């Protein structure tokens, strides 16, 4: 796992690739680069809904449309703040997608004050995400704000 390498790869993709494919490619980089990232997806805000865009993982989620305010995803989209859940079984807001998930991070993608979407990552490891993931993923979310 290498935050700097992943950041450079993502920067290069954003410069060289077309808008239509770059989000999927970035999701793929995150999934491939970090073993603890068991499922990676990008949701877009459409009206009062979060709508799933590109994702990568071993399974599809049934939660392809999440109302704002619902779940950990909806909480992050409503507050505009990163949500970090060390133990999903202890978080009442959690909407279960995969039985294997133990922890989750959701990072809003913002432009000025507007919340455009979010990066959602599930991990099969308990408490998989720490401050380094928050810093890194908030940087990635920032880079994505013109491409979502």
Contact footprint for ligand SME (CB under 6 A): 41, 61, 63, 66, 71-73, 94-95, 97, 104, 120, 122
Number of residues that this document lists for the chain: 148
Nearer to ligand SME, 41 or 108 (CB): 41
For the bound state, the minimum distance from the C-beta of residue 73 to ligand SME, rounded and expressed in Å, comes to 3
**DSSP readout, 68-116?**
TTSHHHHHHHHH-S-EEES-GGG-TTPPP--TT--EEEEEEEEETTEEE
Nearer to ligand SME, 7 or 54 (CB): 54
For the bound state, the minimum distance from the C-beta of residue 135 to ligand SME, rounded and expressed in Å, comes to 22
Nearer to ligand SME, 63 or 102 (CB): 63
Neighbours of 3 (CB within 10 A): 16
Contact 139, 110 (CB under 8 A): no
For the bound state, the minimum distance from the C-beta of residue 77 to ligand SME, rounded and expressed in Å, comes to 9
Alpha carbon distance 94, 91 (integer Å): 6
Residue 26: helix, strand or coil by DSSP?
helix
For the bound state, the minimum distance from the C-beta of residue 121 to ligand SME, rounded and expressed in Å, comes to 8
| Nearest residue to ligand SME, scored by beta-carbon proximity | 71
Nearer to ligand SME, 85 or 116 (CB): 85
């Amino acid at each position: 796992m290498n935050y700097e390498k992943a950041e450079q790869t993502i920067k290069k993709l954003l410069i060289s690739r077309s808008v239509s494919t770059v989000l999927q490619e970035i999701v793929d980089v995150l999934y491939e680069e970090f073993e603890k990232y068991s499922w990676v997806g990008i949701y877009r805000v459409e009206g009062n809904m979060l709508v799933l865009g590109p994702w990568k993982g071993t399974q599809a989620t049934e939660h392809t449309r999440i109302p704002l305010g619902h779940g950990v995803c909806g909480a992050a989209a409503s507050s505009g703040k990163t949500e970090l859940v060390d133990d999903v079984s202890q978080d009442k807001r959690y909407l279960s997608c995969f039985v294997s998930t133990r922890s989750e991070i959701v990072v809003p993608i913002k432009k000025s004050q507007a919340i455009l979407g979010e990066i959602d990552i599930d991990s099969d490891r308990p408490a998989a995400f720490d401050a380094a993931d928050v810093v890194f993923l908030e940087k990635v979310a920032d880079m994505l704000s013109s491409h979502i």
